[in-house]
Amino acid sequence: MIYLDTSVALAQLLAEDCRPPASLWSQALVASRLMEYEVWTRLHARRLADSHGEAARGLIGRVAFLELSPPVLARAREPFPGSVAVRTLDALHLASCDYLRNQGQSIALASYDRRMIAIARAMNISLFDLEDS
């Protein structure tokens, strides 16, 4: 199962220089419900909701969402390993990955966010190779 970080969803929707490989979209995708809100917030901020809304709904519809449940929120309040400072939204995403992993799920994080990747490595969370075509 692939945990889809917002950076990857936005790269796909906004046709950025870094775009995920087609192989990603054939995987089982999961994300925190937070990702849905982050995507819409960015689209609204760039005034792209009308032009990109259908694509966003399609992408979001492919993802199984994990709610911000009490165990996830509790984990986000705890310290994270490594020397990189953890931002609030990253903590919620990483706590979601950790929760799924602790529930016995085989999870790999797909992210372009270097800080999140560094912390995921320190947590021994597997990474999905976004360079793979």
Domain ranges of the chain: 2-127
pLDDT at 82: 82
The residues of the chain scoring below 70 in pLDDT are 132-133
Residue 19 and residue 80 in contact, taking contact as beta carbons nearer than 8 Å: no
| Architecture in CATH for domain 2-127 | 3-Layer(aba) Sandwich (3.40)
Residue 46: count other Cβ atoms within 10 Å of its Cβ: 12
pLDDT at 83: 79
What are the tokens at 12?
A: 């796909």
pLDDT at 17: 77
pLDDT at 131: 84
pLDDT at 132: 60
| pTM passes above 0.75 | yes
CA distance 13 to 10: 5
Residue 128 and residue 1 in contact, taking contact as beta carbons nearer than 8 Å: no
pLDDT at 85: 87
